[in-house]
Amino acid sequence: MRATATIEAGSAQESYAMPRTEAAREPVRVPEALPQWRDLGLSSMSALLVVSLSRAGSRSFQAVCQWPRWHPLNEHVLAVTHHPLILVESTRQLAALAEGRFLPATGTAALRPTSVALGTDPETRPVETSGATDVTVRVTTSDVAVRSGRLTGYRITAEYFHEGRRFGVCAMVFAPASPTAPEPGEGTLTSLLHPAAPAVGAAADPDVLLARAPQGRLVILPRDPAHPVLLPGRPRELPLHAVLEAGRQAALLQQGRPASAVVGLAAQLRGPVPCRGAVIDVAPEENGARFAVTSEGRVVASGTVTLAGA
């Protein structure tokens, strides 16, 4: 079984697969000064997942991450398999650290992730029964775009290892931010019912991002509009990782599968996604499902969810 995720950048489409037999070697750990959580756009030190990042080549780096067992997105069980968004957030933090230390300056135009793809191997994913999981990461940057001496875009790929075995890979594309999403009319968000957290693979009710409209359509409507991980700072626009999580929840709800079935995720922003009121449609595929997010009659995001044994 291969876990495959897809990422689109412009007109190009690439597939990232997580093979069960890893040919790559675990990166060597190199001591590095601790990152500062404020520099990574975090609200508190407890959200920091990256321990260190150091240069290994002109476009390659090696890093160490630590994933707490009691991360807010993880299930509250004795043996925890980490939520896939922890891998995504680690990649975003690594990108922010690389921007601050190694890449050209962005100037006043901030960059944000616009597409992401990840794959995991169910047989090598770490299971945590203690305090935290130590993870080593091999990081590469590519497609670095510079205009007038300022960074305008790039791609980062991170391969994740635990105890010498590769268990996941994540690729993320960064580009300038788009205009802010419009607020939906309150009249369109009435008589909606949230599904139970287990039905969408969420650890708790505040993690649920979806609601069911009277006509049966799924709508993005976070139960906690200021979720500290999914929606920090109560944004008007849904960030990429929250779009990815909404697609994951919608696919699990539609397919009736558990969270452990997910082995690949991908999403691409096509425009601003409002935090409340966008419609999400799911279509089954041979290896999982494809989703599309619509706002004001226009597709503003799309993606895929790969399921084991689908």
Spell out the domains of the chain, with CATH numbers in brackets.
Answer: 3-176 (3.10.129.10), 186-307 (3.10.129)
CB atoms within 10 A of CB 132: 14
Consecutive 10-residue runs of the chain (310 residues): their mean pLDDT? Answer: 44 46 52 64 78 92 94 91 95 92 79 96 93 96 91 96 96 85 58 92 95 89 90 88 97 94 96 92 95 94 91
pLDDT in tens, 55-80: 999 899 999 999 999 999 999 899 99
User: What is the chain's percent helix, strand, coil content, to nearest 5?
Assistant: 20, 40, 40
Do residues 273 and 300 make contact, with C-beta atoms less than 8 angstroms apart?
yes
Do residues 113 and 174 make contact, with C-beta atoms less than 8 angstroms apart?
yes
Do residues 121 and 260 make contact, with C-beta atoms less than 8 angstroms apart?
no
**How far is C-alpha 280 from the chain's CA centre?**
17
pLDDT in tens, 250-299: 999 999 999 999 999 999 999 999 999 999 999 999 999 999 999 989 99
Q: Measuring CA to CA, which residue among 31, 7, 202, 10 is closest to residue 91?
A: 7
DSSP 8-state assignment for residue 30: -
